[in-house]
């Protein structure tokens, strides 16, 4: 990479602008070190491109540079967003935004800086007094009638990262045409001098406990069986915020709906952007729940729940038939939540025929089966909760959204916010545990029953990390190769459909017949469906330097006692497909 003179020349010129421009001394010092270093890897990574809005907004490693997260890259985004808001809502007497942040290093600095920029542009900024979960920012936008909002967060990324999610007036993350329009405004900013850093304190309003109270009351409203919770109020639940924003609000939410025995993991209640007890604060990773499980074993708890640092995703662990804790994957969590909510709506006579659920295209097809079996339509959307929110927005006032989820541990039980919400999802998971216990069942037993009733599917996710520009090029090459040479069979079964979301075509390789895929935009995703019911999805991550392979296979499961056998068969089927794709 360092031998590529053309890139290096461009990068050096870009870095020199930072060295000569109106940047602070610390930033200039960092840039100078990179320019002086004979190894140009860091310099190229820091300047070879500008941070852009992806599926999760702006996200990058903190530090100096156009491809790094700092007050200038985030500030440019905020200035561009401010310019766009002032154009788009010029007819309003007051334009309002919400500004929130998570527990990460520099998050408060970034949030205060962005609030200053909004206010300097004549926009009223509602700044949370301290860290708050992402779903509460979405909730506040709707509650306060704001036109936009941002949260400073890098979700579950490693501690070196920070980021920036932008929201629109419905409380959902920005989508087309606003995302590209904002980028256009950002790109018009030719110099850091155009960013209005000097804030107007009269335009900044602090949000605190009053918004928490309204949010918690809304969580209480989504409870479907308060009587089951009342009878099982002493159910032992271990909760860990993994050093993040839900340290207080999840226990408060559980207490508010009636649970009295919430057990903390003190070491992980410490709010810290260094995430001292974990390598990665990701509830998808077993290590993140290790301390929670140890606490549950020690205290005899029945459920372990965790939220990621910005509080939008959840991870859970439950006891199996041997009374040992097992991790529940994102598909299984979404399956439990969807099955419970749809079936409770049906049992309580709340279904009118206009209700719907939503899942992402890489999430288990079992959720669609569950919806069909309860008479509820289920929509398929792209990865990223903004697409789920788009369906809710389009159908608002016409049809009733019940729930939606994605395999990456995100779920929204109700339309009170327009992003995934670990607070509400953990409250419902705890309620399901209480409801199941009332029936003499466990969450594990209930999951197996759902499989027997609706069909068993086994899933796996493999992520291949490729960092920097060279990594990005390699990921692009992998996708190109799959497009040009799609597999003809996987795991011993013929590929019957290839879906390419870049061309929005579903092709039958046997007949060559194409069908149009109905989606609102193109996306760099490929899916292969096989004769035996397997689904393999391939997509580059929109927020991390990795390419993801999602596997789902189906196995017949006639009775609960054959569950372990079916699971082993499912794992074998996935192993064969992984071998065919040469990923092991």
Question: Which of 393, 367, 396, 398 is closest to 380 using CA atoms?
Answer: 367
Element holding 494 (H helix, E strand) = strand 493-500
Which of 66, 107, 138, 155 is catalytic? The answer is 155
- The reply to whether 155 belongs to the active site is yes
Ramachandran sector of residue 397 (left: φ over 0; alpha: ψ -120 to 50; beta: rest): left
Q: How far apart are CA 541 and CA 559, in angstroms?
A: 37
Could you give the count of Cα atoms lying within 13 Å of 517 in the half-sphere of its Cβ? 24
Question: Which of 418, 413, 435, 246 is closest to 337 using CA atoms?
Answer: 413
CB atoms < 10 A from the CB of 516, how many? 9
Q: How far apart are CA 542 and CA 54, in angstroms?
A: 5
* Residue 559 vs residues 323, 455, 507, 564: alpha-carbon distances, Å: 20, 11, 36, 11
Do residues 69 and 59 touch, judged by C-beta distance below 8 A? yes
CB atoms < 10 A from the CB of 34, how many? 24
Question: Which of 38, 45, 39, 36 is closest to 11 using CA atoms?
Answer: 45
CB atoms < 10 A from the CB of 349, how many? 7
Question: Which of 168, 153, 144 is closest to 114 using CA atoms?
Answer: 153
Residue 130's beta-bridge partner residues?
none
Sign of CA dihedral 551, 552, 554, 560: positive
Ramachandran sector of residue 65 (left: φ over 0; alpha: ψ -120 to 50; beta: rest): left
**Which residue has 């032992």 as its token pair?**
236
CA 273 and chain centroid, separation:
18
- DSSP letters, 405-466, are EETTTEEESSSSSSS--HHHHHHHHHHHHHHHHHTT--HHHHHHHHHHHH-EEEEEEEEEE-
Q: Quick one: angle between helices 330-347 and 366-373, nearest 10?
A: 0
Q: How far apart are CA 208 and CA 130, in angstroms?
A: 8
Q: How far apart are CA 388 and CA 358, in angstroms?
A: 6
Output the six-digit token pair for 510.
């046997």
Q: How far apart are CA 421 and CA 379, in angstroms?
A: 19
Q: How far apart are CA 389 and CA 382, in angstroms?
A: 11
Active site residue ranges: 155
């Amino acid at each position: 990479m360092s031998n590529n003179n053309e890139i290096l020349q461009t990068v050096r010129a870009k870095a020199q602008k930072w060295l000569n421009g109106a940047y602070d001394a610390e930033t200039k010092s960092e840039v100078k070190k990179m320019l002086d270093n004979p190894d140009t890897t860091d310099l190229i990574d820091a300047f070879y491109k500008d941070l852009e809005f992806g599926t999760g907004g702006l996200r990058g490693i903190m530090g100096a540079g156009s491809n790094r997260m700092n007050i200038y890259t985030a500030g440019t985004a905020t200035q561009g967003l401010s310019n766009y808001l002032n154009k788009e809502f010029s007819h309003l007497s007051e334009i309002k935004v919400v500004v929130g942040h998570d527990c990460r290093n520099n998050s408060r600095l970034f949030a205060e800086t962005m609030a200053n920029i909004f206010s300097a542009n004549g926009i009223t900024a509602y700044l949370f007094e301290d860290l708050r979960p992402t779903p509460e920012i979405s909730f506040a936008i709707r509650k306060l009638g704001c036109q936009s909002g941002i949260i400073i967060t890098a979700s579950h990324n490693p501690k070196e990262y920070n980021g920036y999610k932008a929201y629109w007036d419905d409380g959902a993350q920005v989508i087309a045409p606003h995302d590209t329009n904002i980028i256009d405004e950002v790109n018009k900013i030719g110099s850091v001098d155009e960013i209005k850093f000097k804030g107007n304190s009269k335009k900044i309003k602090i949000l605190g406990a009053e918004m928490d109270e309204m949010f918690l009351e809304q969580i209480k409203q989504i409870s479907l069986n308060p009587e089951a919770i009342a009878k099982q109020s002493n159910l032992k639940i271990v909760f860990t915020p993994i050093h993040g924003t839900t340290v207080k609000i999840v226990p408060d939410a559980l207490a508010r709906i009636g649970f009295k025995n919430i057990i903390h993991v003190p070491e992980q209640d410490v709010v810290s952007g260094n995430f001292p007890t974990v390598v990665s604060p990701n509830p998808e990773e077993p290590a993140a729940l290790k301390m929670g499980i140890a606490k549950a074993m020690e205290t005899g708890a029945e459920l372990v729940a965790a939220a990621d640092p910005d509080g939008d995703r959840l991870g859970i662990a439950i006891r199996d038939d041997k009374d040992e804790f097992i991790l529940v994957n994102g598909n299984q969590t979404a399956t439990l939540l969807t099955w419970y909510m749809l079936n409770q709506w049906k049992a309580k006579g709340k279904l009118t025929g206009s209700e719907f659920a939503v899942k992402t295209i890489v999430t288990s097809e079992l959720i669609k089966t569950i919806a069909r079996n309860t008479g509820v339509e289920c929509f398929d959307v792209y990865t990223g909760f903004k697409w789920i929110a788009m369906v809710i927005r389009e159908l608002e006032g016409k049809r009733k959204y019940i729930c939606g989820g994605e395999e990456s541990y995100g779920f929204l039980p109700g339309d009170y916010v327009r992003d995934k919400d670990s607070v509400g999802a953990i409250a419902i998971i705890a309620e399901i545990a209480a409801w199941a216990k009332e029936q003499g069942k466990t969450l594990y037993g209930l999951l197996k029953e759902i499989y027997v009733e609706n069909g068993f599917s086994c899933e796996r996710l493999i992520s291949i990390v490729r960092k920097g520009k060279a990594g990005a090029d390699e990921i692009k090459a992998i996708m190109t190769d799959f497009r040009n040479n799609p597999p003809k069979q996987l795991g011993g079964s013929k590929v019957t459909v290839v879906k390419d979301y870049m061309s929005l075509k579903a092709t039958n390789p046997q007949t060559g017949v194409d069908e149009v895929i109905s989606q609102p935009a193109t996306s760099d995703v490929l899916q292969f469906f096989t004769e035996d019911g397997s689904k393999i999805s391939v997509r580059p991550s929109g927020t991390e330097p990795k390419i993801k392979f999602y596997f789902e296979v189906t196995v017949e499961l006639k009775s609960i006692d054959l569950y372990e056998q079916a699971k082993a068969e499912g794992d074998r089927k996935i192993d064969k497909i992984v071998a065919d794709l040469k990923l092991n």
